[in-house]
Amino acid sequence: MATDTKIAAPVLISTNPATGETVGTYSCTSVDEVHEAVDIARRAQPAWAALGVQKRVAIIRRFRKLLNQQAGEVAELITREAGKPIPEAMGAEILVVQDAAEFVARHAAEILQPQPVPHSNPAMKTKRGTLHHEPHGVIGIISPWNYPFSIPSTETLAALVLGNAVVLKPSELTPACALKLQSLLHEAGVPKEIMQVVLGEGPVGAALIDSKIDKIIFTGSVATGRRVSVAAAQKLLPCVLELGGKDPFIVFDDADLDVASSGAVWGAFMNAGQTCLSVERCYVQRSVFEKFVNMCVKKAQALKVGDGFDRDTDVGPMIDTRQLRIVESQVADALDKGAKVLTGGERLTQLGPNFYAPTVLTNVTPDMKLMREETFGPLLPVIPFDTDEQAISMANESEFGLAASVWTNSRSRGEAVAGKIEAGTVMVNDAISGFGICEAPHGGFKASGIGRTHGLLGMQEMVRVRYVDVDRVVMKKPWWYGYKGMYREQIHGFADMMFGHSPAKRIKGALNSTKILTRPKL
Q: Does 482 bind ligand NDP (CB under 6 A)?
A: no
Kindly report the number of other CB atoms within 10 A of residue 340's CB atom: 12
Is 28 labeled as catalytic in the residue annotation? no
Between 26 and 385, CB nearer to ligand NDP? 26
Report how far apart, in Å, the C-alpha atoms of 288 and of each of 257, 261, 292, 385 are: 8, 11, 6, 10
With respect to ligand NDP, which residue has the nearer C-beta, 201 or 397? 201
SS (H, E, C) 114-172: CEEECCCCHHHCCEEEEEEEEECCEEEEECCCCCCCHHHHHHHHHHHHCCCEEEEECCC
| Site for ligand NDP contains 354 (CB under 6 A) | no
Supply the minimum distance, in Å, between the C-beta of residue 175 and ligand NDP.
Answer: 9
Burial level of 78, CB count in 10 A (0-12/13-18/19+)?
A: buried
Is 465 within 8 Å of 132 (Cβ atoms)? Answer: yes
For ligand NDP, which is the closer residue by CB, 86 or 204?
204
* Binding of residue 63 to ligand NDP (CB under 6 A): no
Report the distance separating Cα 294 and Cα 150, nearest Å.
Answer: 34
The rounded distance, in Å, linking the Cα atoms of 125 and 118 is 9
Assess whether 242 carries a catalytic annotation. Answer: yes
State which of positions 102-131 bind ligand NDP (CB under 6 A): none
Dist CA 286 CA 230 (whole Å): 44
Instruction: List the strands of the sheet with 7-8, edge to edge.
Output: 7-8, 11-15, 22-27
Asked if residue 239 binds ligand NDP (CB under 6 A), the reply is no
Task: Examine residue 34 and tell whether it contacts ligand NDP (CB under 6 A).
Answer: no
* Spatial CB neighbours of 52, under 8 Å, sequence gap ≥ 6: none
- Residue of the chain from 19, 30, 70, 221 that contacts ligand NDP (CB under 6 A): 221
Catalytic residue among 88, 93, 242, 461: 242
Of 224, 229, 261, 405, which lies in the binding site for ligand NDP, with binding defined by CB under 6 A?
Answer: 224
Q: Which stretch binds ligand NDP (CB under 6 A): 224-232, 299-307, 413-421, 481-489?
A: 224-232
Task: Kindly report the three-state secondary structure assignment for every residue of 383-421.
Answer: EEECCHHHHHHHHCCCCEECEEEEECCCHHHHHHHHCCC
Alpha carbon 190 to chain centroid, angstroms: 24
> Alpha helices of 10-52 — where are they, by DSSP H?
31-50
> Residues 178-217 vs ligand NDP: string with x where CB under 6 A?
-----------------------xx--xx--x--------
In degrees and rounded to multiples of 5, residue 495 shows phi and psi of -65, -40
- Please answer whether residues 268 and 282 qualify as being in contact, where contact means their C-beta atoms are separated by less than 8 angstroms: yes
90 forms part of the interface with ligand NDP (CB under 6 A): no
Determine which helix (DSSP H) or strand (DSSP E) holds 318, and give its type and residue range: none
Please, which of residues 376-395 interact with ligand NDP by CB under 6 A?
376
Number of residues near ligand NDP (by CB under 6 A)? 34
Query: Is 29 one of the binding residues for ligand NDP (CB under 6 A)?
Result: no
Interacting stretch for ligand NDP, rule CB under 6 A, among 76-84, 168-176, 309-317, 467-475? 168-176
Tell me: does residue 432 bind ligand NDP (CB under 6 A).
no
Task: Please report whether residue 146 would count as binding ligand NDP according to CB under 6 A.
Answer: yes
Question: Is there binding between residue 228 and ligand NDP (CB under 6 A)?
Answer: yes
From the candidates 28, 276, 296, 438, give the one annotated as an active-site residue. Answer: 276
CB-wise, 182 or 512, nearer to ligand NDP?
182
Judged by the rule CB under 6 A, the positions of this chain that interact with ligand NDP are 142-147, 151, 169-173, 201-202, 205-206, 209, 219-221, 224, 227-228, 242-245, 276, 374, 376, 402, 442, 444, 449
